[in-house]
Amino acid sequence: MRKLPPLNAVRAFEAAARHESFTAAANELCVTVTAISHQVRQLEAILGRKLFERSGRAVVLTAEGHAVFPLLRDGFDVWRARLPRSSRRPTAMRSPYPPHGPSPSAG
């Protein structure tokens, strides 16, 4: 079996690189900035390469980050384009009960 980096780490890096911001990536992925930072560090450790230069709250892609980012961005774009349209939008779960719960006679 292929050994790939964790998808969450890859998604965190791709979003952070695209936005050039850990904060914007965290907002997009509905996680904390700390979670993005940990995921990116995990990916950096797995790859053995530094992907971002960190300076206070600012993050800038390194040369390695610039090399990796287009591969992931383009891969996600191809994947999204090939998904059937119906699977691109989240669907609401439907309750088996009427809007006001089960009727009194049901019980």
Token readout for 48 is 């053995």
Cα(16)–Cα(60) distance, integer angstroms: 10
Q: Distance between CA 91 and CA 88 in Å, rounded?
A: 9
What is 7-81's CATH number?
A: 1.10.10.10
Q: Where are the domains of the chain?
A: 7-81
pLDDT digits (tens, 9 = 90+) for 60-100: 999 999 999 999 999 999 988 998 876 655 555 555 555 55
pLDDT of residue 32: 97
Cβ atoms 4, 42 nearer than 8 A = no
pLDDT of 104 over the 80 cut: no
Confidence at residue 88, expressed as pLDDT on a 0 to 100 scale: 55
pLDDT in tens, 6-63: 999 999 999 999 999 999 999 999 999 999 999 999 999 999 999 999 998 899 999 9
- Tokens coding 36: 């993005």
């936005």: which residue's tokens?
19
**pTM confidence score:** 0.74
Q: What is the pLDDT at residue 85?
A: 74
